[in-house]
Amino acid sequence: MKFTLSWLKDHLDAEASLDTIAETLTRIGLEVEGIEDKAVSLKPFVVAHVISAEPHPNADRLRVCAVETGDGRPVQVVCGAPNARAGMKTVFAPPGTYVPGLDKTLSVGTIRGVESLGMLCSGAELGLGEAADGILDLPQEAPTGEPYALYAKLDDPVIEINLTPNRPDCTAIHGIARDLAATGLGSLKRPPHPPVRGEGACPVSVTLDLDPLDRGLCPYFTLRLVRGVRNGPSPDWMQARLRAIGLRPINALVDITNYLTFDRGRPLHVFDAAKVRGGLVVRRAREGEELKGLDGRTYALTGDTVVIADDNGAESIGGIMGGEASGCDAGTVDVLIESALWDPVNIAQSGRRLGIITDARYRFERGVDPAFTLPGLDLATRLVMDICGGSPSEAVIVGEPPVIERVIDFPWTETRRLAGIELSRAEMKVTLEALGFHVAGTGDRVKVLTPSWRPDVEGKADLVEEIIRIAGLDRIEPKPLPRLEAAVGKPVLTVMQKRTRLAKRALASRGLVEAVTWSFIPHDDAVLFGGGGADLALANPIAADLSDMRPSLVPGLLKAAQRNADRGSADVALFEVGQCFATDQPEGQTIRAAAIRRGSATHAGAGRHWDGTADNVDAFDAKADALALLAALGVPTGGLQVVAGGPDWLHPGRSGTLQFGPKNPVGFFGEVHPRVLKALDLKGRLVAFEITLDAVPLPKHRPTKVKPPLVLSDFQAISRDFAFVVGRDVAAGDVVKAAQAAERKLIAGIEVFDIYEGVGIPEGSKSVAIAVRLQPTDRTLTDAEIEAVTGRIVAEVGRKTGATLRA
């Protein structure tokens, strides 16, 4: 919302400076976005008289001008404008001037050997947005030396406020003035607006052709004919104000409607009566009906939009935009002025659907003061008569203004209860009344009647807001929020919150770098990772490749790795801990932790190093990350199983599933499937793991923090090595499991220390070497006992895996 200072002062009797006004506006909730004061920004630009303009000795298109700038000492300026000529009045800027249209500061220049002490300017160079077909050509009576902003009446500061959608009353400069007056900064001017006494009935009838249930679409409609107007340009003062706030003057009749839209927040429409056939009908648009708007665009209408129609069809989109066919132009003699009320929700929806943003829509969708409908028509009529002449008819009035005033039962203590500030009743009452509220009663509770221009005020809390915003929020002293209990704080994080935090720190400690990638990924990527369902596709993605909610963190990380590789960081190790989506229900959302390693980015480090060049990453790097994460989370890994194979996006032979029993997989690790690499256009070796943190079993609740006692044996542990030859497909884990099963009591640990295939081992077989540690608890083992145990191990491993001891 933009307005000028002088326009505001039409409504506000105040001596306050521009700075004070701006500060107050922000303080009461009408946040000032910017102030443009051309009297300041264009100060160096003055009206100048070109005394002479001689051809430049060295350039055909340049002229050397002697310019009188007001101090009686003409300066020499080289000018290239085609219209530069002796005797003209134009605008001059001396060296040192910042020229907004060029975004540069002038200096004394020498142009083709001739000194130039300034510049003659076009409107565009002044930032006034006018076409630059030469320098400004001012009338002869323009006083030489006067600042141009002053001469051109550009010296009225323009204030722009960021208006929140709850304040339709401040879409009117009058409303802004009312708010300012309530602070005591000045007083609101309320010139009387006596009703217009029209002569004779308006010859054009108005019918609200709406279903009884639709009456709210246009509850109230007023119209008047003014005969015999002269519709030329509007007066200079009106044009200057409209231009200042960014509107283009059209003609007096149209300008008057725009003027009142801002002055009073009352959008109006004018029809050229000669172009209207028959009576006006307010109705839903017919399917397929079209209307060419005042903006020259043709709009396809539907029954959701309300139009004002005559015998020719739709002439105007109610409350949004008039039609070109019935618009007013220089030839208009009889004008129909419309002041009506429209349904905010319907206006918002129609405007959005049609893609029309107008000052009328902006106001009607926020809520226009119903009580000012007829006064608005009268005010417009009076302006038309003042500016264009003519004689008005009586008004046609159809429907009734809805009553939006409310009575609120208000205990004065509500301000202290909600705002924590003690204000006097007198102050609160003065504020409410200055804002147009009517306060009835004198006790602890009063009845407050809301004004017709404040549809946003619904209850007590709104009144408290009105009171404290005018009083100033800075008057509320901060007060500590008391603790709920006088006690040391309890831990606040849930298990999942702790896991999420711990997972991030644990993975980062493994040299992985945390990424935060988009929750939405390309549809094809989602499909590759088991997602892409219709219930998780965005209806309005911001870009085609940010279309589907991610089923996994891995595709985002893989793409990120490739982007880094493309930028020269080939060996990256990235992780993310974040949400993934299986369905659109809350239960379908899980928190996962995933990491990828690319190239040689192993735990030990990436790239070449004098102490041994890093190998490419393999599935075991991913497995190590996954197991380290589970360990960091404090998950008891006793029941954890690692089984071969994983989801489709992993290499079938180089991937594993981590599970607590076959029905409870918690995650996967492995090499990324070559087909996925190809589909995502990824290069290089990539391994990944992903664990669903929600799926990991919760630690058992223990009633005490005491750790189980430490049991140490006094007897010597011994270690025995076994090299088994087994089939190539036998899993080392099964060899270990079989050995473990052979002796439950004595075996304290088993390590796989060598895997070998090749010379000395039969084709199709491999050697698996394990070290078994035996720990007696009650006596030292005899050779015979050790023999017996090793025999059982060899037999059991042989029985379960077909292994033989390597010769």
- Do 780 and 715 meet the contact criterion of CB atoms below 8 Å apart? yes
Q: Is 681 in the site for other proteins (CB under 8 A)?
A: no
What part of residues 393-432 is at the interface with other proteins (CB under 8 A)?
416-421
What part of residues 316-345 is at the interface with other proteins (CB under 8 A)?
344-345
Q: How many CB atoms lie within 10 A of CB 37?
A: 18
As a residue count, the chain comes to: 807
Q: Is 31 in the site for other proteins (CB under 8 A)?
A: yes
Site size for other proteins (CB under 8 A) = 99
Query: Per CB under 8 A, which region of 83-91, 478-486, 639-647, 656-664 contacts other proteins?
Result: 478-486
Q: How far is the CB of 534 from other proteins (least distance, A)?
A: 6
Q: How far is the CB of 241 from other proteins (least distance, A)?
A: 26
Q: Is 763 in the site for other proteins (CB under 8 A)?
A: no
Structure tokens at 662: 């076959």
Q: Is 589 in the site for other proteins (CB under 8 A)?
A: yes
Q: What is the pattern of x (binds other proteins, CB under 8 A) and - over residues 634-673?
A: ----------------------------------------
Interatomic CA distance for residues 249 and 241, integer angstroms: 10
Q: How far is the CB of 505 from other proteins (least distance, A)?
A: 5
Q: Is 535 in the site for other proteins (CB under 8 A)?
A: yes
Q: How far is the CB of 167 from other proteins (least distance, A)?
A: 7
Q: Helices 236-244 & 252-264, crossing angle to 10 degrees?
A: 60
In terms of Cα–Cα distance, which of 329, 328, 330, 360 is closest to 347? 360
Q: Is 19 in the site for other proteins (CB under 8 A)?
A: no
Q: Is 265 in the site for other proteins (CB under 8 A)?
A: no
| Binder of other proteins out of 86, 132, 407, 473 (CB under 8 A) | 473
Q: If phi over 0 gives left and psi between -120 and 50 gives alpha, with beta otherwise, what is residue 200?
A: left
Q: How far is the CB of 419 from other proteins (least distance, A)?
A: 5
Interatomic CA distance for residues 141 and 559, integer angstroms: 70
Of the pair 142, 306, the CB lying nearest other proteins is at 306
Structure tokens at 720: 């025995």
Per-residue DSSP letters for 445-492? EEEEEPPTT-TT--SHHHHHHHHHHHH-GGGSPP-----SSSSPPPP-
Query: Per CB under 8 A, which region of 212-220, 262-270, 308-316, 515-523 contacts other proteins?
Result: 515-523
Of the pair 27, 773, the CB lying nearest other proteins is at 27
| Binder of other proteins out of 300, 604, 631, 788 (CB under 8 A) | 604
Whole-angstrom CA distances from 106 to 117, 144, 408, 805 are 9, 21, 62, 95
What part of residues 142-201 is at the interface with other proteins (CB under 8 A)?
164-167
Q: Is 359 in the site for other proteins (CB under 8 A)?
A: no
Q: Is 518 in the site for other proteins (CB under 8 A)?
A: yes
Q: If phi over 0 gives left and psi between -120 and 50 gives alpha, with beta otherwise, what is residue 145?
A: left
Tokens 């407050």 correspond to 448
Looking only at the bridges linking them, the beta strands covering 573-581 and 513-514 are parallel
Q: Is 631 in the site for other proteins (CB under 8 A)?
A: no
Query: Per CB under 8 A, which region of 89-97, 470-478, 644-652, 787-795 contacts other proteins?
Result: 470-478
Q: How many CB atoms lie within 10 A of CB 728?
A: 11
Q: Is 625 in the site for other proteins (CB under 8 A)?
A: no
Query: Per CB under 8 A, which region of 106-114, 228-236, 566-574, 702-710 contacts other proteins?
Result: 566-574
Interatomic CA distance for residues 603 and 315, integer angstroms: 73
Structure tokens at 130: 């006018």
Q: Is 483 in the site for other proteins (CB under 8 A)?
A: yes
| Binder of other proteins out of 61, 297, 445, 609 (CB under 8 A) | 609
Say how far residue 169 (Cα) sits from the centre of its chain. 26
| Binder of other proteins out of 462, 524, 694, 785 (CB under 8 A) | 462
Maximum separation of any 2 CA atoms in the chain, in Å? 130
Interatomic CA distance for residues 666 and 695, integer angstroms: 5
Residue partners of 355: CB distance under 8 A and separation at least 6: none
Q: Is 461 in the site for other proteins (CB under 8 A)?
A: yes
Q: Is 365 in the site for other proteins (CB under 8 A)?
A: yes
Q: How far is the CB of 624 from other proteins (least distance, A)?
A: 11
Query: Per CB under 8 A, which region of 13-21, 348-356, 660-668, 695-703 contacts other proteins?
Result: 348-356
Query: Per CB under 8 A, which region of 208-216, 270-278, 599-607, 688-696 contacts other proteins?
Result: 599-607
Per-residue DSSP letters for 574-607? EEEEEEEESSSSGGGEEEEEEEEEETT--SS-SS
Q: Is 632 in the site for other proteins (CB under 8 A)?
A: no
Query: Per CB under 8 A, which region of 126-134, 437-445, 484-492, 688-696 contacts other proteins?
Result: 484-492
Of the pair 547, 801, the CB lying nearest other proteins is at 547
Q: How many CB atoms lie within 10 A of CB 540?
A: 5
| Binder of other proteins out of 212, 288, 489, 662 (CB under 8 A) | 489
| Binder of other proteins out of 43, 504, 737, 800 (CB under 8 A) | 504
Reported in sequence order, the residue ranges of 599-696 that DSSP labels E, i.e. its strands, are 641-644, 650-659, 665-672, 686-692
Q: Is 501 in the site for other proteins (CB under 8 A)?
A: yes
- Do 536 and 561 meet the contact criterion of CB atoms below 8 Å apart? no
Q: Is 517 in the site for other proteins (CB under 8 A)?
A: yes
Residue partners of 484: CB distance under 8 A and separation at least 6: none
Q: Is 440 in the site for other proteins (CB under 8 A)?
A: no
- Do 386 and 251 meet the contact criterion of CB atoms below 8 Å apart? no
- Do 283 and 320 meet the contact criterion of CB atoms below 8 Å apart? no
Q: Is 88 in the site for other proteins (CB under 8 A)?
A: no
